[in-house]
Structure 1
Amino acid sequence: MIHNILGLTPDAQTTDLAQALVALETEFELRTVFPSEVLEEAARAIRDFEFPPTDRRDIEFVTIDPAESTDLDQAVHLSRAADGYLVHYAIADVPGFVSLGGRLDGETRLRGQTVYLPHRRLSLHPESIAEDAGSLLPEKDRSAYLWSFTLDARGVVTDTALERAIVRSRAKLNYVGVQEELDAGTASELLGLLREVGLKRIELERERGGASLRIPAQEVECINGTYVLRASAPLPVEDWNAQISLMTGMEAARLMIDAKVGILRTMPAPLPKDLEVFRLQATTLGASWGTDQPYGEFLRSLDLDDAGQLALMHHAASLFRGATYTVLDGAVPSGLEQAAIGAPYAHTTAPLRRLVDRFSLLVCSYAIRGQDVPAAVREVLPLLPKLMGSSNQLVNKVERAAIDTVEAASLAHRVGERFSAVTLTGTVPGAPGPAAPGSTHSNGTNGTNGANGHKSRGTLQLISPAVTAPFEGAAPAGRHVEVELVTADLTTRTVLFRIVGP
């Protein structure tokens, strides 16, 4: 499902929007500049970098990312092996550029992760590493942590290897182009195997009781100087590609658990009371959920083109709560599963963009060889949950504020117009509206009463353009409604609609 794009018309206040987006950097105190000593250290690391002796440039890797990406963390190759498959997955050798305890290491701990703003990217690492020396760019020799997985005919991992090696990507592919080739039947054998293995791994996820929250994501892009807002569900190839990353994270978690040292991404299973509430919501919205059907399998069955089922998918966010990082150091506690995956899991495959992955790679590289993890690495692990938690909270706020800003600017000239929409959360006159599960919209999509204390607010999604915003008026969740735009204020990042028809 892909919704129309929300873009600025020629008479919109594009200058004001650009200034408002830049102002987010100050408002949220983002780290926009690397200190000179950090840049100098990065330059020395690139100059003095030593490639590993193992040469795997014979493997014809490709990268698959959004078309505009230049910070390329992963490259993949798949082939048939006996009655199964051989999957090679190269991850950028960021540890090779970052000395523990150095200035660059300290700066990345302050940043936590890359921040993607509509007008620019604030990288975790200097661009000289993130978009050049450390990025797995096509036709460039690069050092990587190379995972090699042997899979049986069902896609189950039967053997795992990990080594530092020189690799060379042959092509920089993008999701849209790969999906078009697969749909047209013109894709290479490698891409065909990506689909084949991806589908088998999805089936294994289903058997484990894993679940995916398929809420269409809102993203702001700048295209030829014009900001646009997109809302779309992932393409199938994105799911298949993600399965390779998930498989790697699961194997990394296994290595850490066996070594009793590392850091896992954990999330508890939904509480019985939350599942019961969600089952009642499914009944209210007219979705058929069998009593013996796991919630993950039920979520896979939802049709996001159906208003009620789209609303239900948003409600399902209440089942995906409590994600955190759990550190292992000499003991293996219980409750290490990431419930949405249905297995223990570790963030491992995006070291250019996420701090914790660098340390996961280091731990795994020692664990797979049966060596003790150095004290310098172990000492950092207990610090990472707080660092990543703070970073995640900040990035979520910034991304939401950026979307609110673009929505308000793009709709400012359309106050009084009417739109078709789907209600995601319902309202009752004179009563507080329910919160949008798993999200807080700074425009007021928090389900609280209006400023006068009497008007209830719910959440809606326009059919076109791609806007999710609060509304006033009485309407249950999962209904097609007609709404009027009441407010679109760039200064306050406020957008508000009112129900005017069924």
Structure 2
Amino acid sequence: MRLIDSEGALARGLSDIRTQFQVPAGFPAEVVAAAQSAKDHYAASRADWTATPFVTLDPASSTDLDQAFALARDGNDIVLHYAIADVGAVVADGDPIDTEAWARGTTIYLPDGKASLYPPILSEGSASLLPDVDRPAVVFTVRVDEAGNSRLDGAVRGLIRSRAKLAYETVTPSDLSPEFTELSRRIALAEDARGAERVDAPEQELVPDGGDGQFDLVILPQLESEQQNAALSLAANLAIADALFAHHTGLFRVMAGPGDWAVRRLRHTAKALGLIWPKDATLAQFERTLDGTNPSHAAFRSAIRRASPGATYAPFTPGAVPWHSAMAATYVHATAPLRRLADRFVIEAALAVANGQPVPDTLTASFAKLPEVMADADNRAAQVERAALDLAEAVMLKGREGSRFDAVVTDVDERGARIQLCEPPVVARIDAKDLLPGAALKVELVSADATTRQVRFRRVS
């Protein structure tokens, strides 16, 4: 829905969010200078992969391209050659770019622009896998069998040349190799066998509308091309995770599943959105019935993500199996080094393991430090995202004071009752007196304040 922002509340609010959460506005001069002079430290020893027809697939507006792929068949296996931007070749430990990256941890996205992990001259320029130019990359070779199980078959520093920058919104089957859809099908088959939850949900987003300072508040369902492309990263990350764990090293992405209380709340959320969740179906089973193109289903998938205790990072620990509940597997992040600090170090460890070399002590030391750094970065990014949505909701509801909405109580705690409006899908809190989770009620909007990013409702029935 379009947000009418004639008084500029969104622009002011987004500026305030940047100030409150100390979102960097640019890069120090020494970091920019280091990025401008950055060189490929492995240029003389790279394998030549420029004859391989790699392509990228991302949102149309993306220019920080981490991944390019080429697919082939070998007997019953699909072979994925996955080229990942080789950030480790142009950023040295302890240099100004590295120091700044450790302070940032991740790229932060806001509706009016992003705060990149690395200077744009690298992340959107010389390190990005843009089409029709030679670029340094780490090429992982991953085999995917008929059951969807993936295995790391090699890793090498190479020079690639992407043939095309494909976009989720416009890509057609003729743009892609025939193995692309089949690989996605195989990865989904393996997910089903593992009992993975598959909760890469469409998200509520605040999207610029026409460059006139207006925005749309929308839930953008994942396109089929986006879901299929995610299967490539999943196959690679699972294969790399298994290889690192087998060699007693690595930094893993771990997550516990939603607790019983969270599942109960999700049942109430489903009710608020008009979804029928059979009593005898588990969360994973119900989630698989959802259609990502349906806005109500998309809203519920986002609620699943919010109900999770959140994913964290953990270094290899003897005697412990790192586990990601949503993936139902051991899992790493290794495919987005332009946007996440940790990926660069996981890639370096994977290169060592795949080539029979010891993992340097410096990498092991980094794995011990990264969980705290990434947790802080992820928390800040999440707070910024939530603040932007709170702002959007306040601007959207401004002027509708006194209007009444249908809502459902999703849970009750010491802060009151959390409610979800049935339309629009806004989450808020009210006094919890005499309310129980699952209760349907009607509420009236008391106030909507864009300055504080708060909306306040009262129960009317």
- TM-score using structure 2 length: 0.87
Q: 5 Å matches for 1:276-291?
A: 277=264, 287-290=277-280
d(CA) in 1 for partners of 2:265 and 2:379?
Answer: 26
- Distance apart, 1:362 and its partner CA: 0.5
Q: Could you tell me which of 181, 186, 194 is aligned with 1:208? A: 194
2:419 matches 1:458: yes
Find the residue that maps to 1:361 and give its secondary structure: helix
Q: Which amino acid aligns with 2:4?
A: L
Q: Which amino acid aligns with 1:288?
A: P
- Does the Cα contact within 8 Å between 1:469 and 1:495 map onto a contact in 2? no
Find the residue that maps to 2:37 and give its secondary structure: helix
Query: Residues 485 and 358 from structure 1, CA distance in 2 versus in 1: closer, same or farther, beyond 3 angstroms?
Result: same
Q: Which amino acid aligns with 1:434?
A: V
Query: Residues 49 and 43 from structure 1, CA distance in 2 versus in 1: closer, same or farther, beyond 3 angstroms?
Result: farther
- Distance apart, 1:35 and its partner CA: 1.5
d(CA) in 1 for partners of 2:290 and 2:436?
Answer: 19
Deviations 1:44-75 (A, max 9, x none): 21487736431111222221112211111111
Q: Which moved more, 1:368-377 or 1:278-287?
A: 278-287
- Distance apart, 1:233 and its partner CA: 3.0
Deviations 1:188-225 (A, max 9, x none): 342x5322211221111110121123654111222332
2:415 matches 1:448: yes
- Distance apart, 1:102 and its partner CA: 1.6
- Does the Cα contact within 8 Å between 1:100 and 1:376 map onto a contact in 2? no
Q: Which moved more, 1:58-67 or 1:136-145?
A: 58-67
Q: Could you tell me which of 170, 195, 212 is aligned with 1:177? A: 170
The match for 1:470 is 428
Query: Residues 308 and 322 from structure 1, CA distance in 2 versus in 1: closer, same or farther, beyond 3 angstroms?
Result: closer
Q: Could you tell me which of 45, 58, 64 is aligned with 1:71? A: 64
Please give the root-mean-square deviation of Cα atoms over the aligned residues, in Å: 3.2
The match for 1:229 is 217
Deviations 1:327-351 (A, max 9, x none): 12xx533231212111111110000
Q: Could you list the runs of 5+ residues in structure 2 that have no partner in the other structure?
A: none
Query: Residues 131 and 208 from structure 1, CA distance in 2 versus in 1: closer, same or farther, beyond 3 angstroms?
Result: same
- Distance apart, 1:375 and its partner CA: 2.2
d(CA) in 1 for partners of 2:103 and 2:415?
Answer: 34
Q: Which moved more, 1:81-90 or 1:340-349?
A: 81-90
The match for 2:249 is 261
2:200 matches 1:242: no
The match for 2:342 is 356
Q: Could you list the runs of 5+ residues in structure 1 that have no partner in the other structure?
A: 427-432, 436-446, 450-455
Q: Which amino acid aligns with 2:23?
A: L
Q: 5 Å matches for 1:294-443?
A: 295-302=283-290, 316-317=304-305, 320-321=308-309, 323-328=311-316, 332-417=318-403, 423=408, 425-426=409-410, 434=412
d(CA) in 2 for partners of 1:106 and 1:133?
Answer: 19
Deviations 1:270-320 (A, max 9, x none): 56x558857986998852254xx6642332124679999788756645763
Query: Residues 392 and 398 from structure 1, CA distance in 2 versus in 1: closer, same or farther, beyond 3 angstroms?
Result: same
d(CA) in 1 for partners of 2:196 and 2:155?
Answer: 26
d(CA) in 1 for partners of 2:120 and 2:297?
Answer: 42
Q: Could you tell me which of 133, 138, 151 is aligned with 1:145? A: 138
Give the total of aligned pairs: 454
- Does the Cα contact within 8 Å between 2:203 and 2:299 map onto a contact in 1? no
- Does the Cα contact within 8 Å between 2:202 and 2:301 map onto a contact in 1? no
- Does the Cα contact within 8 Å between 1:78 and 1:88 map onto a contact in 2? yes
Find the residue that maps to 2:136 and give its secondary structure: strand
The match for 1:193 is 179
d(CA) in 1 for partners of 2:295 and 2:114?
Answer: 34
- Distance apart, 1:389 and its partner CA: 0.5
d(CA) in 2 for partners of 1:403 and 1:349?
Answer: 27
Deviations 1:128-166 (A, max 9, x none): 101101111111211111111222333333552111111
Query: Residues 22 and 281 from structure 1, CA distance in 2 versus in 1: closer, same or farther, beyond 3 angstroms?
Result: closer
Find the residue that maps to 2:333 and give its secondary structure: coil
Q: Which amino acid aligns with 1:91?
A: I
- Distance apart, 1:497 and its partner CA: 4.4
The match for 1:439 is none
Q: Could you tell me which of 65, 77, 81 is aligned with 1:88? A: 81
- TM-score using structure 1 length: 0.81
Q: Could you tell me which of 7, 10, 32 is aligned with 1:13? A: 7
The match for 1:116 is 109
The match for 2:149 is 156
d(CA) in 1 for partners of 2:420 and 2:202?
Answer: 15
- Does the Cα contact within 8 Å between 2:152 and 2:243 map onto a contact in 1? no
Query: Residues 458 and 380 from structure 1, CA distance in 2 versus in 1: closer, same or farther, beyond 3 angstroms?
Result: same
Find the residue that maps to 1:408 and give its secondary structure: helix
